[in-house]
Amino acid sequence: MRHVQKILVPLDLTKNSLIGLNFAVALAEESAANLLALHVANEYQAWQMLDETGFASDRIYRWEVDRVIRESMLDLNRFLETSLGGNGRVSTIGRKVVLGDATTRILDIACAEECDLIVLSPRRQGAIARFFFGSVTDKVTRSAPCPVLSIAAGERPRTPRGKEAPLLGRLRHGFQFS
């Protein structure tokens, strides 16, 4: 088995991607690997359709690509600071922001940076959405030049439905505490 020297962590700046980030940081510390946090900015972030008051404007402004990348880098830095805290781990993480299609850009950066591992956190999607649109994790896993580790969030607690709900209600209200 070859030694992992560079780990790529694509982040979409959601709570779900935090799970993969924490795992990748622990793995990088354990194996003394370099960690690269990648945020793929969306092209639609370049369009500003609201004015200063927050209402729809009759004029649509298009931001320059440099501004979108700068704003996305600020968002990435804020996400890393708030997620990992100020314990020194944030300063050792490399950061990169690119603009474009998430799957294509993740694969391009993995090749260009010669990454040994990609750590992804898949989003929860319904079967219909996955069928029509696919998922970034599936596409990256199928085409990646290196191994891909997919870290999923734990199962959410199920809300009681049907016959279970009245039983839980009776148990909760049936006990009298004085």
Domain ranges of the chain: 6-174
pLDDT at 110: 94
Contact yes or no for 92/35 (Cβ under 8 A): yes
What is the Cα 164 distance to its own chain's centre? 35
pLDDT for residue 138: 83
Question: DSSP states of 133-153 as a string?
Answer: H--HHHHHHHH-SS-EEE-PP
Which superfamily does 6-174 belong to?
HUPs (3.40.50.620)
How confident is the model at residue 178, as a pLDDT?
Answer: 47
User: What distance in Å separates the CA atoms of residue 109 and residue 107, rounded to the nearest whole number?
Assistant: 6
Per residue of the chain (178 residues), what is the pLDDT tens digit? 578 899 999 998 888 888 889 999 989 988 889 999 999 987 665 555 555 565 555 555 556 777 888 888 999 999 998 888 765 566 678 999 998 888 999 999 999 999 999 999 886 666 665 555 567 888 888 888 999 998 887 666 666 555 555 555 555 555 555 4
Buried b (16+ CB within 10 A) or exposed e, 37-69: bbbbbeeeebeeeeeeeeeeeeeeeeeeeeebb
With a threshold of 0.75, does the pTM exceed it? Answer: no
CA 85 to the chain's CA centroid:
17
